[in-house]
Every structure is written in structure tokens, then in C-alpha cells.
Amino acid sequence: MSVSITNAQRAEVLTQALPYIKKYNGKVVVIKYGGNAMINEQLKEQVMEDIVLLSLIGVKVVLVHGGGPEITETMKKVGKESVFLDGLRVTDKETAEIVQMVLAGKINKSLVNLLEVKGGRAMGLSGMDDRMILCEMKDERLGYVGKITKVNVTPILDLLEKGYIPVVSTVGVDKEGNVYNINADTAAAFIAGAMHAERLITLTDIAGILRDHTDPSTLIPKLDVEEAHKLFETGIISGGMIPKVECCIEAIEHGVRKVIIMDGRVPHSILIETLTDEGAGTMIVGEKS
């Protein structure tokens, strides 16, 4: 059922958004994009619309993306099995080439194209460009899975200065030029920290941090780093949420003001978070004010 709104209601919505538009104008917001919001075509279009709108009102948006499901699907097509260790993809030389092809090629350029179709100006980058993400081998058992040693954000800043939305695929290189698969949450945290971003928004497939992972009504709307560490100890933050929250804490410690973990499956969740009183997901800060 379609819901029509009056011009007065539209004006009221815009008026309520005005303080937030002022707050974020000229500020850097890094968005880590993945999960179901990346697979579902309708959600993908809505995420791109949100990003274009933020860019048009003066927010310096940086989009950092992964693409695990598409990598797995491509590996299947070439007859190669995906093997995981501690949640990370074991990456030999051939797999690293597939990762590069899928992330820096297919996914990156399709997102750039979609942003352009929605009215934005976008340009794709990978961690290989200008040695943007330098790394070393994280664990020999994992092969070419990278541990980030240095981030060079100059290419991103150059694109922002020229009015583009940088779209960053998370492949990195070492000093010898070997290509590495990089965890997208980690890459987004390092990039946001290096840019001292106003916010890092991490889109996931859950509402945020829940006190009871089976009950969405137990969402924790805000916590500081000290409280997050206590939630690790009590087991409330567990499983796949552990590395995500660790990345969020790392981003805060490297200079990001606020980090949001939220459900990318909610339509226009980025706009709800940035331009309304309601907000979305769980906000992590250094210290509560």
C-alpha cells in the first residue's frame, strides 16, 4: 500500500533534517558496505541513493566494500572450493587473483556505475592504487590474507577534493607487490581512522549489538569503549560480532569520533542514522558525554 504525504509534511521532514545537514556538511563519513544489503538489488539501490544524497548535501562520503559471497560464487564457477579458518578465507595465489578480479573489478565498477546512475560522481579505487593499503601476511596458514601495516589516504582525499565519491575495494599489497585479501571491516576502520572521520557506519545483517542475540528489542543504542570491553568479557558480544566490534574500537582509538553498527537490510538506514533524531543501530564512542 502506497502512503502519500503532503507538501507540508515533506517540508517538515526537510526542516527536521536541517541541523543534521549542517552538522555533517564538509565532514568525512566512511561507510563499510557488505552483507545482505549488498546482495539484495533493491536494498543496494537504496544504499546508493542514500550515499548520493549525502554527497549532494556536502558530506564527504567514502564507500568501502567487501564481497565475500561473490568471491565464493566465482570460486565455485572455476571449480575451486572456499576454505575458511577462524572466519577468514584461506587465500592461495589463485584465490588472491580471484579476489582481485571480483573486488577491484566486477563489484567495484558496478557500484561506481550505480552511484553514477543515481546522480552521483564516483570513482573506484583499490588498496593497490598508489599502495593505498600496505600489508603483510597475517598468518601463514591463511596464505595471502593481509594484516594492514600502513594506509595511504592521499588518493581518497584527492577524489573527495574533486567532488567524487571514492569507492574502495579491500585488496592490499606488500612491498614486493603480492596481492592480499583484506577484511573489509578492518580496512574501513583503518581508513576512517587515518582520515579522522566524523563517523564510520558499518552495515551488517543484524540490528546492532543486542544483549540477547535472539531478541531485537534488546538493542544497545549507545556504549563507550570501556563498556564494549565488558560486553566481551560477559559474552554478550560473541561469535562473528567480536571482530566487527574490535574493528570499531580500533577506529575510535585511531581518531574516528563515532562508529555505528547497524542493519543494512532496513530501507534507507543510512539516512535514518545521519539525518534524524531516531538514529539506527548501536553507536560506539570513546567516552560517553
Residue 177 known to be catalytic: no
Say which of 34, 44, 172, 185 is annotated catalytic. Answer: 185
Residue 53 confidence (pLDDT) = 94
CA dist., res. 77 & res. 68, Å (int): 14
Threshold 0.85, pTM exceeds: yes
Residue 143 known to be catalytic: no
Say which of 244, 263, 264, 281 is annotated catalytic. Answer: 244
Residue 244 known to be catalytic: yes
Stated length of the chain? 289
Residue 180 confidence (pLDDT) = 95
Residue 165 confidence (pLDDT) = 97
Contact 228, 282 (CB under 8 A): no
Domains and CATH numbers, the chain: 19-285 (3.40.1160.10)
Reported as type and span, the H/E element at residue 258 is strand 258-263
Residue 185 known to be catalytic: yes
Say which of 68, 193, 208, 281 is annotated catalytic. Answer: 68
Residue 255 known to be catalytic: no
For 87-100, write each residue's pLDDT tens digit: 788 899 999 999 99
Residue 87, classified by CB atoms within 10 Å of its CB into exposed (0-12), middle (13-18) or buried (19+), is exposed
User: Which segments in the chain show pLDDT lower than 50?
Assistant: 1
